[in-house]
Amino acid sequence: MSHPALRALARFIPQIMRLEESRDAAIRERDLAQQQAHAEQQQALSAQQQAESAQRMLDEVLQRQHVDGNARVEQTLAMVRAEYTVLPRFGFHQPIDYEPDSLPPHFDPPVVVPGEALPLPAPAERFGYPADDAAYLHMGALDAAVVRAAIDRHLGPRQDLALLDFGCSSGRVLRHFDAERSAQGWRLHGVDIQARPIEWLRLHFPQDYLVTTGTVQPHLPFEDNSLDVIYGFSVFTHIKYLWDMWLLELRRVLKPGGLLVQTIHTENAWAFYHGQREEAWVRRAHSARMLDRPEMDADWFHHGDIAVSQAFWKAEIARRNWGRYLEVLELLPPQHDLSFQDVMICRKPLPLGW
């Protein structure tokens, strides 16, 4: 190529270079735009995936909340029912019927024992007392003998005695006064805050047994000065609240000179439970504070609500406090091998000039 031609071509080199630079810039811009578009596409896809993932997580949370919420509702209702079935703070009996339609409870057939005038409740209706028939009868007879001995010492032989089993359950002790009912005209009464055993008694004991469901509030459905004897086994051991008002209510319905026979927890019961402190049934019902101490270190100690309340008194304190409301005749240690509770025997004072 001649020099003139080279010179002419050289004149186009800057233009060619600028075109190449423009081309390269355009390619770079195109590639950058493609990269940005791809990044935006990926971002959009990622955002969509994140949104879908978040929705799934939200759905799972809502589902879990629904399931867990239902479980929490049921758990709460169970706790409420448990609290309001025992009702330590309110004046109702237990259990409360939560159903819109109330029907008679189902009971297993009563147990008929040869030689016994009255049927026994089935083991399920004995409320923690022995399932063995002979043991159930024996324990009830021992406790009835404690009451009978107190009557013999402080009242003497009586006809037409009005006697109340305070906390009668399904008649474990009350049944053992049936001979006096038949031979001496004793009028037998029973009251319990548990509706179920009272219904069992209504079905299976004679009509002249006056049994009724009571309340946890200090009120009895009896007239003033109408009862000769009121006894109770392991009732004041459960009364954490209003024990003094209960004593006044019991005094109200007792006749002047009438007897009150009630078991209580004193140092004797404390020592018994401490000795059994590793037993599951003891640990369920008692305070760790109490079980850790071999001896009572306070004048009195009450634990729990009415279903599991364990009320303990030092014997001298119980005698002093009960003596404010009734005349304390005796405070006896446990009266037989199946008991660890002391027996408080009191009398309603006679009016002046009686």
> Which amino acid type is present at position 35?
Q
Does 144 share its domain with 293? yes
Determine, yes or no, domain membership for 105.
Answer: no
CA angle 240-241-243, nearest 5°? 90
Residue 124 within a domain: no
Position 60 scores a pLDDT of 73
In this structure, the answer to whether residues 55 and 194 fall within a common structural domain is no
Cis preceding-peptide flag for 114 (omega within 30 of 0): no
201-204-208-214 Cα dihedral, nearest 10 degrees: 10
Q: Where are the alpha helices (DSSP H) in the chain?
A: 3-86, 133-154, 178-184, 195-204, 243-253, 267-275, 280-285, 288-291, 315-322
Shared-domain flag, residues 81 and 149: no
**pLDDT confidence of residue 30:** 78
Residue 228 within a domain: yes
Residues 314, 271: Cα–Cα separation, whole Å: 12
Residues 61 and 161 in one domain: no
Q: Is residue 93 part of a domain?
A: no
Same domain, 200 and 290: yes
Of 142, 201, 204, which is closest to residue 173 (Cα–Cα)? 142
Amino acid identity, position 88: P
Residues 242 and 320 both lie in one domain: yes
Residues in the chain: 354
Along the 354 residues of the chain, how does pLDDT read in single tens digits?
Answer: 555 655 555 565 666 667 667 777 777 777 777 777 676 777 766 767 766 776 777 777 667 766 677 777 777 777 666 655 555 445 556 665 666 778 888 999 999 999 999 999 999 999 889 999 999 999 999 999 999 999 999 999 889 999 999 999 999 999 999 999 999 999 999 999 988 999 999 999 999 999 999 988 899 999 999 999 999 999 999 998 889 999 999 999 999 999 999 999 999 999 999 999 999 989 988 888 889 999 999 999 999 876 677 899 999 999 999 999 999 999 999 999 999 999 999 999 998 766
Residue 164 belongs to some domain of the structure: yes
Beta pairing partners, 212: 191
Domain extent for 325: 135-347
User: Are residue 230 and residue 164 in the same domain, yes or no?
Assistant: yes
Judge if 160 and 58 occupy the same domain.
no
Q: Are residues 2 and 81 in the same domain?
A: yes
Domain boundary among 57, 86, 115: 86
Residue 29 covered by a domain = yes
Final residue in a domain of this structure, among 20, 55, 86: 86
CA 89 to chain centre: 12
Q: Do 163 and 33 share a structural domain?
A: no
Same domain (yes/no): 190, 330? yes
Rounded CA-CA distance 323/317 in Å is 10
Q: Residue 115 falls within a domain, yes or no?
A: no
**What residues contact 202, with CB distance under 8 A and at least 6 apart?**
211
pLDDT at 285: 86
Which residue in 213, 54, 209, 19 sits closest to 117, CA to CA? 209
Residue 315: give its domain's CATH number: 3.40.50.150
| Cα distance between residue 84 and residue 69, in whole Å | 22
Domain count, the chain: 2
Quick one: 169 and 243 in the same domain?
yes
Is 118 part of a structural domain of the chain? Answer: no
Residue entry with tokens 């049936």:
178
pTM: predicted TM-score of the whole model, two decimal places? 0.76
Residue written as token pair 């009978």? 148
pLDDT at residue 248, rounded to an integer: 98
Task: Write the Ramachandran bin of 196: left for phi over 0, alpha for psi from -120 to 50, otherwise beta.
Answer: alpha
User: What pLDDT is recorded for position 9?
Assistant: 53
Distances (CA, A) of 165 to 15, 143, 177, 218: 122, 12, 10, 15
